Each structure stands twice: as C-alpha cells, then as structure tokens.
C-alpha cells in the first residue's frame, strides 16, 4: 500500500502507477495501453483543445468491510458518457469496455486504494473522452481517445458532512437554455469558473445556479445537484439544463426505500424558506449539507437574503441517506438494488 496519510486526503491530484488509454480510429479501438506517464502526446490541432470536444465521468472504488473492492454503479457512468459523446458526435466505448477498463485501472493502482478504516476516502476514477485528431474546422472529431485516470481522494468540500455556506449567482449561468447543461462536458464547468472564483473570494464554498430561462427556479450547484428535505419528502429540481446525477438518482431510490416521498419537479427559489434541510449531492461530495444559502440581486452585490438550514450540522434525514449510500459502498449494508460491482483482484 502507498505511503499516504489517508486521514489527510483532500480532493486533489496524486500521482499513481498508471493511466489506461485507447484510441478509436479507422473504425476500431486500439489495444488498451497502461501508461506510467500522465502526459499525453497530442496534436496541437486536436478538437478537444480548440472546440471543447471533451466529456468525462467520475466514480469511486471502495475497500469494503470484508476486504472486497467495489465500484458503485459504473454501468450508469458508462451510459452517461455514451450520451455525452453522442451529443458531441464522437465515438464512446461500450458499457462492457468502460467497466472492464475501470476495473483494470483499479487493479493496476490497488496500492492507492484507501483502506476500509479511512473514513470518507476512496480511489476516484476519472474516465475521460476527447476528440484527438488534428482539425481546423468546427466539426465533430473523427478520432477519439478514451482514458481512465485515478487518484486517492478525501472529501470534496471541507470534511465529510461538514455543512457549508453557498451563494446564488443570479447574474451568471452554468448552461444555456436548450444547451449542454444536461451533458457532462468540460465546457459546462468552464462556464462556472468565474462566478465560483468570485464566490470563493467572498467566503462561499459553492455556487447555486438558477434556471437560465426565467431565473425563478433552482437548477444545480457548480459541481453537484441540489436536494431539499421537507415533511419527510426528498425534493430535487427537474430541469433540462441539469446534469442527471447518478448519486442523486440513487438517493431518490434510497429515500423511497426508507419510506420518504420523492418529488422531482421544478423548485421555485421562494420555496427555500420552507425547507428543513438542503444539500449538495454528487459522486465527489456524496452529500454536503448546506447551512446558509445567500441570495443576492447579483453576485457582486452587498444586498442579500439569507436562508439558514439547521444548526450547522448535517440534518437527520440527510445523514440517514448518507449513511445508507456509504454503507452500501463500503459493504456495511446489504445491497438490495444490485448497484455494487466487485473488482476481482
């Protein structure tokens, strides 16, 4: 096992043994390579560099209580990557190829998989697909390169289950109406960077965006979905400009399994004052509870309306959902849904 202090892991890059790489060209994928070098030999004219022909995924591998190594719903990540690739007009790997490459990446970097006892730690996998052939014109790439990268990580925002303060960015959007918001493409994240930097300068951990058409409905955070708890209901926005989060989808299923009512619907900003708990959810964060959500006429304004949820700790319903999901991932709870995919070592 790597010489790492697992308790001090953040969500950041750590050099591991290998990345996996294959390229689709001339109608077929090349044999998968294990590369010890993180750097790519790529044409300066590649479509990914000029026209953002790039999409990616994020999922985690866990060491379970019984010592087994587990992936959480990798087939859903494969399907979402295929959907993003279709939007970009490039070739994506099959579900089987995607899952097997993820497993191979874990096996080749097994010493970087945190032990079961490392709370909140995992081996994060970043499947990445880019348009890689040289081109000048604006068009989909004929050649695509698919890679699986990995790095051991801790909590994405603060510590696991630390409540955070966030701000609504009314004068910025992460996606356009009828645009790429529901696809996991790099351009969506680029669109969030300026407002996120402003928010960080003001002391906020994340930015919440509203629907780009009317600015009256809640969309999602800069890197994760929004959910709220009210009257034993799990509520999450329905919008065409939101990325369909696999974690959020899983939380909806778990909430129903635990006897909660689930509502995926348009959520008006005015409803914030009625919610008992609010949180971010996604692969990187799982659940991050939100303590304060600040609404401003525009991000740089000093005028603000503050919504407060709970006492600065994770609410009871959010905690119950978090414990169920992480319990599944780490083998502490029997999997009633068939979501766990075991990596044979």
* Distance between CA atoms of residues 116 and 97, nearest Å: 27
* Distance between CA atoms of residues 161 and 67, nearest Å: 25
β-strands 261-265, 286-295 pairing: unpaired
Instruction: With H, G, I as helix, E, B as strand and everything else as coil, classify residue 267.
Output: coil
Q: How far is CA 127 from CA 77, 142, 206, 212, 345, in A?
A: 9, 19, 24, 28, 20
- Cα of 329 vs its chain's centroid, Å: 16
Catalytic residue flag (residue 184): yes
Residue for token pair 């709220």: 228
Q: What is the Rg, in whole angstroms, of the alpha carbon atoms belonging to the chain?
A: 20
* Distance between CA atoms of residues 158 and 164, nearest Å: 8
* Distance between CA atoms of residues 8 and 12, nearest Å: 11
DSSP annotation string for 25-92: ETTEEPPPEEES-------TTBHHHHH--EEE--EEEEE-TTS-EEEESHHHHHHHHHHHHHHHT---
Residue for token pair 């300026």: 194
Catalytic residue (one of 21, 60, 103, 184): 184
Q: 167: part of which helix (H) or strand (E)?
A: strand 164-168
* Distance between CA atoms of residues 85 and 83, nearest Å: 5
Q: How many residues does the chain have?
A: 345
Strand partners, 47: none
User: Which residues are annotated as catalytic?
Assistant: 184
């Amino acid at each position: 096992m790597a010489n790492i202090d697992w308790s001090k892991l953040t969500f950041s890059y750590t050099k591991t043994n290998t990345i996996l790489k294959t390229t689709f060209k001339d109608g077929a994928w090349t044999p998968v390579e294990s590369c010890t070098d993180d750097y790519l030999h790529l044409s300066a004219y590649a479509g990914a560099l000029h026209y953002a022909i790039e999409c990616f995924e994020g999922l985690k591998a866990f060491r379970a209580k019984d010592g087994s190594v587990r992936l959480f719903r990798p087939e859903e990540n494969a399907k979402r990557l295929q959907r993003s690739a279709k939007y970009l007009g490039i070739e994506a790997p099959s579900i089987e190829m995607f899952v097997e490459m993820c497993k191979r990446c874990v096996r080749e970097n097994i010493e970087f998989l945190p032990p079961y006892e490392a709370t909140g730690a995992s081996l994060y996998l970043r499947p990445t697909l880019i348009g890689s052939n040289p081109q000048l014109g604006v068009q989909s790439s004929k050649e695509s390169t698919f890679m699986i990268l990995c790095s051991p990580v801790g909590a994405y925002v603060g510590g696991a289950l630390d409540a955070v303060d966030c701000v609504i960015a009314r004068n910025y959007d992460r996606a356009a109406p009828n645009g790429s918001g529901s696809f996991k493409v790099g351009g969506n994240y680029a669109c969030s960077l300026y407002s996120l930097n402003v928010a960080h300068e003001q002391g906020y951990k994340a930015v919440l965006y509203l629907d780009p058409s009317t600015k009256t409905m809640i969309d999602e955070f800069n890197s994760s979905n929004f959910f709220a708890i009210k009257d034993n209901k799990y509520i999450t926005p329905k919008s065409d400009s939101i990325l369909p989060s696999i974690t959020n989808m899983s939380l909806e299923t778990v909430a129903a399994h635990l006897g909660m009512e689930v509502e995926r619907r348009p959520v008006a900003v005015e409803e914030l004052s009625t919610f008992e708990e609010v949180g971010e959810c996604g692969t990187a964060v799982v659940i991050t509870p939100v303590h304060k959500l600040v609404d401003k006429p525009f991000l740089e304004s000093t005028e603000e309306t503050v919504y407060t949820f709970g006492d600065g700790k994770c609410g009871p319903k959010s905690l119950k959902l978090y414990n169920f999901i992480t319990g599944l991932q780490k083998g502490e709870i029997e999997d009633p849904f068939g979501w766990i995919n075991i990596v044979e070592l």
